[in-house]
Amino acid sequence: MDDKNAQVVQLFGKNAQLYEQKFMNVQSYHDALDIFCRSITREQASILELACGPGNITQYLLRQRPGFRILGTDLSPAMLELARKNNPGTTFQLLDCNDITTLPDRYDGIVVGFLLPYLSREATDKLFQDAASMLHPGGVLYLSTMEDDYTKSGWRTSSTGDQYYQYFHDAAWLKETLHKRGFRLIDEQRKTTPGPDGAPVTDLILIAGKLEC
């Protein structure tokens, strides 16, 4: 883990309860998450969630598909504690997204909710390659991130005054990289909301399927 990622992990751990209060409701993303659920046909499907935070996406997925067998992972022990509280009976473990290929199982779906804003292009490409190796043929990958030109990536100050490094990604590069790593696009959505300074912020959601061959 580099210094930028270590600062992000420290920031989320420090503000885990604030994050839980603000983001447990994932209503804005219900339509995209529903598409992810519908794209997975196996009833007792195995799902890997990266950067699960307080278990907000986990909770919604299990309400829609109680048969899902979810492994939630995060680098913040404080976030994992909240995730376990919010999803009793679900398995969570400490794991760096760079290490997913060390897991013994393969999955029907992988969920990556707003992890990409903290990953460089190189790290994102590695994640896509690793995800392809960890998915069964026809498995589904859910991604959400903040869309903008990559050159606008840089240091930011959070509402709590903490410094962190944020990466932006554009849809064209993400889709090209997904294709290169053996995925086909299933769905693409955008949600635009006012940012802290009043300027619009665009959330990008991509859902992709691993090619059968």
- Position 49 scores a pLDDT of 98
- Which has the higher per-residue pLDDT, 13 or 208? 208
- Which has the higher per-residue pLDDT, 18 or 28? 28
**Residue 55 to residues 4, 43, 48, 189, 200: CA-CA distances in angstroms?**
23, 21, 12, 22, 27
Assess contact for 108 and 136: CB atoms under 8 A: yes
Q: Is the dihedral of CA 133, 204, 21, 9 positive or negative?
A: positive
- The lowest-confidence range among 27-36, 157-166, 185-194 is 157-166
Phi, psi of 30 (to 5 degrees): -55, -45
Q: Structure tokens of 183?
A: 């995925």
Query: What is the pairing mode between strands 154-157 and 91-94?
Result: unpaired
At 14, the pLDDT band (50, 70, 90 cuts) reads: confident
- Sheet with 183-194: list strands edge to edge: 91-94, 69-74, 46-50, 107-113, 135-146, 200-210, 183-194
Reported as half-sphere exposure (CB side, CA atoms, 13 A), residue 46 has a value of 9
- Residues 180-192 have pLDDT tens digits of 999 999 999 999 9
Residue 9 has pLDDT above 80, yes or no: no
Tokens 């554009």 correspond to 170
Phi, psi of 95 (to 5 degrees): -160, 135
Assess contact for 76 and 16: CB atoms under 8 A: yes
Assess contact for 174 and 211: CB atoms under 8 A: no
Task: Output the CA torsion 134→73→31→62 (10° steps).
Answer: 100
- Position 17 scores a pLDDT of 87
Per the confidence metrics, is the pTM higher than 0.85? yes
Instruction: Please tell me the distance from the alpha carbon of residue 168 to that of residue 185, in angstroms, as a whole number.
Output: 20
- Position 18 scores a pLDDT of 81
- The lowest-confidence range among 149-153, 156-160, 168-172, 205-209 is 156-160
- Position 182 scores a pLDDT of 97
Domains for the chain: give ranges and CATH numbers. 3-210 (3.40.50.150)
Residue 8 has pLDDT above 80, yes or no: no
Residue 157 has pLDDT above 90, yes or no: no
**Residue 136 to residues 15, 45, 53, 146, 199: CA-CA distances in angstroms?**
35, 11, 25, 27, 40
Q: Is the dihedral of CA 72, 114, 14, 25 positive or negative?
A: negative
Average pLDDT for the chain: 93
Count Cβ atoms within 10 A of the Cβ of residue 189 and give its class: 0-12 exposed, 13-18 middle, 19 or more buried: middle
At 150, the pLDDT band (50, 70, 90 cuts) reads: very high
- Residues 86-142 have pLDDT tens digits of 999 999 999 999 999 999 999 999 999 999 999 999 999 999 999 999 999 999 999
